[in-house]
Amino acid sequence: MNDVLTESRPIRLKGRSFLALALTPELPFEDWLRRLDDLASRSAGFFLRRPVVLDVDGLDIDRQQLRDLVSQLTARNVRIMGIEGARQSLLGADLPPAMNDGRPAADFEAKMAEQAERADVSEGETETETETVITAEPISAKATPSIVVTQPVRSGQSLFFPEGDVTVIGSVASGAEVVAGGSIHIYGALRGRAMAGTTGNASARIFCRKLEAELIAIDGFYKTADDMEQNLRGKAVQIWLDGEALKAGTLG
């Protein structure tokens, strides 16, 4: 009788790239956490269900300080999926794993708390995934990449397009957000969050038919609703970056 060898079905391992926020804390952590709390209080739910990478590159800290920082963030419902830029001696089984070579994707500094980077978790074959909750139509592959969204961006929806400009033919509801590597054009009311120039494009702008935003940001610099000029609310405006200051003016 011949023995029949049955090969077990192998486990399939695949690499993927995911979009995550990258937080870059500053010393002293107590002051930085207070600024983070201020951002969270003015943009409720910003970190909710978001994967976050903690970038500690260049910080002179020890393992206990890093452990305490991760605990403080966890207590604030900021879920750290990995740590970038940490010396090997800082890491341990009680901390999130090391992450390396993250590619910039969307940058919102302590404001949108956002330095968004694409955290590249890849081994073997890599498949890039873009979190796109909305139908979008590419305009041109030869010119600067851009997309057109032909429906409103509703509350709870997020549109990420770090490659270039985003145009929304409609409104962006409160609790929704648009994140673009280039400029953002909204042919309706902007009631949610708009973050432009997130890959370091300081010349990006935000245009909207009616400004009622919860938060606006360009190249990591941001303003929340409380910081915006009240005489511009409800009007058609453009927003640009002048040095490290966000400026706004009416259209037309």
pLDDT (tens digit, 9 = 90+) per residue, 143-163?
568 999 999 999 988 888 888
- Please give the torsion angle defined by the CA atoms of residues 99, 105, 107 and 112, in that order, rounded to the nearest 10 degrees: -90
Surface-to-core class of residue 72, CB atoms within 10 Å of its CB (0-12 exposed, 13-18 middle, 19+ buried) = middle
Q: Does domain 15-128 have CATH number 3.30.70.260?
A: yes
Whether pTM exceeds 0.75: no
> 202-228 burial string, b = 16+ CB within 10 Å, else e?
eebbbbbbbbbbbbbbbbbbbbbbeeb
Written as six digits, the tokens of 84 are 């970038």
Q: Count of CB atoms within 10 A of residue 232's CB?
A: 14
Residue 140 has what pLDDT?
Answer: 41
- What CATH architecture does domain 136-250 belong to? 3 Solenoid (2.160)
Q: Contact at 8 Å (CB) between 122 and 17?
A: yes
How much is the pLDDT for 194? 94
Question: Of the candidates 66, 121, 56, which has an alpha carbon nearest to the alpha carbon of residue 95?
Answer: 66
pLDDT in tens, 98-139: 887 665 554 433 333 333 333 333 333 333 333 333 334 444
Please check whether residue 222 is in contact with residue 111, taking contact to mean a CB–CB distance below 8 angstroms.
yes
pLDDT for res 244 = 84
Domain ranges of the chain: 15-128, 136-250
Note the pLDDT of residue 115.
35
> Which phi and psi angles does 73 have, rounded to 5°?
-70, -40
Question: Which residues of the chain carry a pLDDT beneath 50?
Answer: 106-142
- Cα dist from 35 to 28, 41, 42, whole Å: 11, 10, 11
